[in-house]
Amino acid sequence: MGTVTADRFEERLRSYLAESSEEARAVRVGEKETSDHAAIVARYADLFTRDQHSALAEVADAAPEAEHERLVRLREAAAGGILSLELAEAYDALQNKVLAARLEFKGEEMPLRTAQAQVALLDDYEDREELGRISGDLSATFNDERLDLMRRGEELEAELTGEPDPIRRSADLKGIDLHELSTALDRTAERQAPAWDPLRERWADRLLGDGRDDEPTSAHVAYLRRMSPLADTYTKDRAVPVCLETLARLGFDLANESRIRLDLDDRPQKSPRACVIAADPPEVVHLITRAQGGLHDYQALLHEAGHALHYAGCDPALPYTFRRLSRDHALTELYSFLVESISREPGWHAAHFDLDDDEAAERAEGTRFLEALLFRRYAAKLSYELELFADFEHATRFSEVYAETLRAAVGFRYRPDNYLADLDDGFYSADYLRAWIRSAQLRRHLRATVGEDWWERRETGELLQGLFREGTRPSSEEVAQRIGFDPLDTEPLLDELAAVA
């Protein structure tokens, strides 16, 4: 079968990704009930062949350094396309089943997706337990299909790369040592534990009430993230104007940025998880959220704005590859983590919510509780994932490891049968965790160079704009070096997470 040059491949890949992004967007936001991704990838089948993959691998190996990186990313995109082509129908089938799944709660029928969003909104402790249980039961019925898909994906990736070990494969691509990262994070979590325990007790009491279990189920975590009992302060209506104003102080005009298309509507089938879909950056970037009320709306919107501004802010003169493709997500998550972290500044709460200094400090402590909860959860997830993928053949044996590792880290009980649904592809957890480390380093850098009020200063926006212009090209570790940190230096992160109010 014929192959095309790397440049031609890049050009057609762009059309493919633009089309498939639009399809993913339509399903995600509930405009479409079923996904037709399989049909789209089938139209580009000539692009995603083993011959094309080998041809790109060959030119990448032979290329001078300046060109090597672009070709490696194109080779990876070819591998991703082959995976899509061979698994798209099965993925679509599973996704469509999940979309069609309905459950009954208090005599009312609702889609599984809606139920998962609803758990965060119920003010009654027992109601959350019950809806969490029912939706968890329903979600677990898809586990065989999830595992089957993962197995097929594993086999295919092993074949394409010639590397049977999924951990080494992922580490090679990310250019880091995953075990070393995990060890550094476990040590950080351990050192943070003395600060975490009282913080957890105080905020779990405050947000869940006195009648709570010692170790509540994970059904309450989404409720905590909304800071639901404080939802009167963080209303649904103000999320957009407050976030726009927050970004304006940095010098970003999101509302008038024609490259970023905002979808803030509420639709029953819209996924409750906010996201950015960079369909054709920098020109077409979708930012999607579904406000439900509560602080989480603000944090999610700021987080996604970080991604959107990154993609929409890249230099249009960069090759397409460096506007859209990356080896992993650690760099773009650095930007989203940094922008989201503004919501942990006491000054931000005081400025936007009419709170006095004590109240603002207390709210900021609440956000630090959430941050520590999530950090500890992800550090635990990575260590579970490393165990799982070290012996993926026996994946089903690791459901208890999943539940126990997470419980021990955060003090909430996770369902063992959630061990596959709570997994993102390609060790995404490691990308988040690198962003945790890096964004704390960058904040320390900003505090030192811009000032304590870095979160409302134009200089911060200017520094970010400079980084955004480089698109997806630098690695997260390169950014660490530029600001003078060792990539695994977790001191700035530990300082923030262990701070006492």
Interface residue list for Zn ion (CB under 5 A): 336
Closest CB to Zn ion among residues 160, 302: 302
Provide, rounded to whole angstroms, the least separation between the CB of residue 441 and Zn ion: 18
Provide, rounded to whole angstroms, the least separation between the CB of residue 429 and Zn ion: 12
Label residue 427 left, alpha or beta by phi (over 0 means left) and psi (-120 to 50 means alpha): left
Closest CB to Zn ion among residues 219, 342: 342
How far apart, in whole angstroms, are the C-alpha atoms of residue 253 and residue 245?
9
How far apart, in whole angstroms, are the C-alpha atoms of residue 63 and residue 58?
9
Provide, rounded to whole angstroms, the least separation between the CB of residue 281 and Zn ion: 15
DSSP, residue by residue, 285-341: EEEE----SSHHHHHHHHHHHHHHHHHHTS-TTS-HHHHH--SSSHHHHHHHHHHHG
In sequence order, the β-bridge partners of residue 217 are 413
How far apart, in whole angstroms, are the C-alpha atoms of residue 95 and residue 255?
32
Provide, rounded to whole angstroms, the least separation between the CB of residue 190 and Zn ion: 26
Provide, rounded to whole angstroms, the least separation between the CB of residue 336 and Zn ion: 4
Provide, rounded to whole angstroms, the least separation between the CB of residue 303 and Zn ion: 6
Closest CA to 420 of 442, 440, 439, 392: 392
Closest CB to Zn ion among residues 75, 290: 290
Residue nearest to Zn ion (CB): 336
How far apart, in whole angstroms, are the C-alpha atoms of residue 129 and residue 123?
11
Closest CB to Zn ion among residues 336, 441: 336
Closest CB to Zn ion among residues 120, 305: 305
Provide, rounded to whole angstroms, the least separation between the CB of residue 362 and Zn ion: 27
Closest CB to Zn ion among residues 246, 336: 336
Provide, rounded to whole angstroms, the least separation between the CB of residue 7 and Zn ion: 30
The answer to whether 335 and 306 have CB atoms below 8 angstroms apart is yes
Provide, rounded to whole angstroms, the least separation between the CB of residue 274 and Zn ion: 9
Tokens 């927050």 — which residue? 246
Closest CB to Zn ion among residues 140, 287: 287
Closest CB to Zn ion among residues 29, 275: 275
Tokens of 371: 């941050």
> How many Cβ atoms sit within 10 Å of the Cβ of residue 386?
18
Closest CB to Zn ion among residues 321, 336: 336
CA 7 to chain centre: 30
CA 390 to chain centre: 23
69-73 contacts: CB < 8 A, separation 24 or more?
69/473, 70/6, 70/10, 70/319, 70/321, 70/322, 71/6, 72/327, 73/321, 73/325, 73/326, 73/327
> What is the chain's percent helix, strand, coil content, to nearest 5?
70, 5, 25
Provide, rounded to whole angstroms, the least separation between the CB of residue 87 and Zn ion: 24
The residues near 13 (Cβ < 8 Å, ≥ 6 apart) are: 47, 74, 77, 81, 320
Closest CB to Zn ion among residues 114, 336: 336
How far apart, in whole angstroms, are the C-alpha atoms of residue 219 and residue 117?
11
- Beta strands 275-280 and 260-263, pairing class: unpaired
CA 286 to chain centre: 15
Closest CB to Zn ion among residues 192, 336: 336
Closest CB to Zn ion among residues 326, 336: 336
Provide, rounded to whole angstroms, the least separation between the CB of residue 370 and Zn ion: 16
The residues near 45 (Cβ < 8 Å, ≥ 6 apart) are: 85
Burial class (CB in 10 A: 0-12, 13-18, 19+), 389: buried
Per-residue DSSP letter, 499: -
The answer to whether 343 and 299 have CB atoms below 8 angstroms apart is yes
Provide, rounded to whole angstroms, the least separation between the CB of residue 307 and Zn ion: 6
